[in-house]
Chain A
């Protein structure tokens, strides 16, 4: 699959490079642009990024593989990340994981058959005081109850 940035995103690149004294430092912001556009980061995209940064593709790949938020395969439309770290478990993360599994039909680490949901469990998201909680794409949902989860999932397009 060939990758190229959309015109709008391509136009953002000079501004990103201007923030840093080296090209390499623009790595994470540019990888975020890729993921924002595609939902994941393919090897072809890594090659394009490597060329922009004047690095070998392997130098980009080793970065992508280090960070848990960079997806190396397409996920569902809504990436549901339930925190089941120690602090969230103290406030009932276990039922939340089970409940979301049941509601979406996904096991942890899987995408639903209709491609709408992808379920992950994650470590601390700095929301311990409002646990149990989950993140869906860029948003946090906190102090969750079964009723709240039902409504949140229903309201997702």
Chain B
């Protein structure tokens, strides 16, 4: 196990400042304030750190887009709206080491010239929000948040904000709409948030895991961070593993780790049945078959070559007991439920996909349904304000591509083959 992010995650009472400090929390601040903000941005650029929320955009470059001369306040917004099915890695950091997040927020805010940071928690994360509020209060009392931090002349306020149950608020512009007190509707880009974001001011939105990597980079330098990972995918990444796996959980590994050894050594393999498919980066990314995933390494480039995305690192392990049509119908239900309804192709497309998949699974499909689904995917992908519709279009295309015969079997047999026990029941049906 490599420890950039999770070094202290097993320490008892780590959310208490006193304990956290004994384990090195806030040790990066001396180094931080000894350097100019622009040097910190350069250091993060050197590190090669990429956004860990799903998109993988280079963090240092994003920070460098913030204009410093507008006269408007600059905001840092931390995305703790973790809601992508299969993803529970931010929650792990929030529960185990909230002071690491605060330390990262101080560094990131200092670098981009922000004096106000908001952390947007998904509404269901009540206990995590409470824990963070408590950690902030302790840090404030110790002079780590507020006016003139550690006597270095730098001011920063950190506010925790709770969402109220909407997956779309994890999309950065929807998150900003929500934080401003509106419905969580995504906005057209450009303008990008770095130029015009929260309250129409320059804003950087970063994922919890991204921010938690920053203290290490400040302490050890960008080159120190690059010791982990590959040339283009540097550093470590958290993978949250769930589904039909022996040891589900959150694991930190250097990017570039082969899936095969990760799955065997960390996760203990499947529950005993043969592996059928793996979704490596949260429910929105294309699924891979067992054969495809076994030759892949866990980094952004290898994922793309394999035909998928590293996404959030929410890894869903699926064994051969699962019906591909039912799995896709389940995923479609999620997207139909969570579409914000702003764009027609998404609002209608996700709902229709679900209806078609439900009837296919129930054995009431029509011969044209598979091509209809693919047509729907084409009408959703790339035609909306945000990438939510793509997040269903990609699974539709990939599940059909990988498991087409199963879809055809549902049409031929007029039932779900997985729900038939014996040959006799096929004959009688």
Contacts and interface: CB of A to CB of B under 8 A. Distances in A.
Interface of A: 19, 21-22, 24-29, 31-32, 53, 62-63, 66-70, 85-87, 89-91, 123-131, 135, 138-140
Nearest to A86: B330
Nearest to B185: A66
Interface string B115-128: 00000001111110
B178 A28 contact: yes
How extensive is the interface on chain B, given as a class? Answer: 35 or more
The 7 A-B pairs with the shortest beta carbon distances in the complex, nearest first, are: A27-B181, A69-B165, A67-B164, A128-B242, A68-B165, A129-B248, A24-B181
Contacts, number: 130
Contacts of B167: 123-124
A26 B161 CA distance: 9
Contacts of A85: 85, 330, 334
B162 A32 contact: yes
Interface of B: 73, 82-88, 90-91, 122-127, 157, 159, 161-167, 178-184, 199, 240-244, 248-250, 283, 314, 316, 318, 322, 327, 330-331, 334, 337-338, 340
Given A22-B181, A126-B83, A128-B87, A87 B159 contact: no
Given A19-B159, A28-B181, A86-B334, A129 B124 contact: no
Contacts of B318: 90
Which of A21, A123, A130 has the largest number of chain B CB atoms within 10 A? A123
A10 B34 CA distance: 43
19 contacts: A22-B180, A22-B199, A25-B199, A27-B181, A67-B164, A67-B184, A68-B164, A70-B165, A86-B283, A90-B318, A123-B337, A124-B83, A124-B86, A124-B334, A126-B83, A128-B86, A128-B243, A129-B240, A139-B127
A129 B181 contact: no
A129 B82 CA distance: 14
Nearest to A85: B85
Contacts of A21: 73, 199
